[in-house]
Amino acid sequence: MKYISVALFSLLISFSVSAQQTQPAYLEYKTVPAVKLLLADSTGWELKAKLDKNKPLMLVIFSPECDHCKHETEELIKNIDKFKNIQIVMATPLPVYEMREFAEHYNLKKYKNITVGRDYSYILPVYYDVKSLPYHAFYTKDKKLISAFEGTMTVEKMLTQFGKK
């Protein structure tokens, strides 16, 4: 009986250690997560289903209150012509009214390649194991993960992820 108890204890410890060493879902699956976003007009938008099949994707998780997110958005729209062949999805877990104010402030609806939505199920922060904002995930046009990055990025560094300058 003593040996069985030791074996079970060892097994539980190994499961616990292996569970702690698992990698975030985005690294395990390397695909765009199935998530529904709530757009500013309160319509639902299914990320995987609505993506442009012929364009790479830059997914940005942001906070409307984050100064780094604001600055990065300003730089992005100043250089939007460099992103014309890239689909940009900006998602936030914060309330719709904050997201709407952010989108209106930067007039994001005028850019056809930018979609702004609320991740009302809080799936993206868990999927990407987000610790700081803004958070970026870059995907090929086939929606395979290129890379992910936490923190502010320059326009040049964003474009480099897609092999552009």
Q: Encode pLDDT of 76-92 as tens digits.
A: 999 999 999 999 999 99
Give the pLDDT of residue 103: 97
* 3-state secondary structure at position 147: strand
- List the chain domain ranges: 24-161
Q: What is the CATH number of domain 24-161?
A: 3.40.30.10
Lowest mean per-residue pLDDT among 4-18, 116-130, 151-165? 4-18
Please say if the pLDDT value at position 7 is more than 50.
Answer: no
Number of neighbours of residue 6 by Cβ within 10 angstroms? 10
Mean pLDDT of the region 139-157? 96
Mean pLDDT of the region 49-72? 96
**Pairwise pLDDT comparison (9 vs 126), residue with the higher score:** 126
Total-model pTM = 0.85
pLDDT in tens, 34-46: 999 999 988 998 9
Q: In this structure, what are the phi and psi dihedrals at residue 74, rounded to the nearest 5 degrees?
A: -60, -45
Percentage of the chain beyond pLDDT 70 is 87
Q: What is the DSSP letter of 129?
A: T
Give the pLDDT of residue 55: 96
Helices (H), 45-143: 47-50, 67-78, 96-105, 123-127
CA dihedral 51, 52, 53, 59 (to 10 degrees): -50
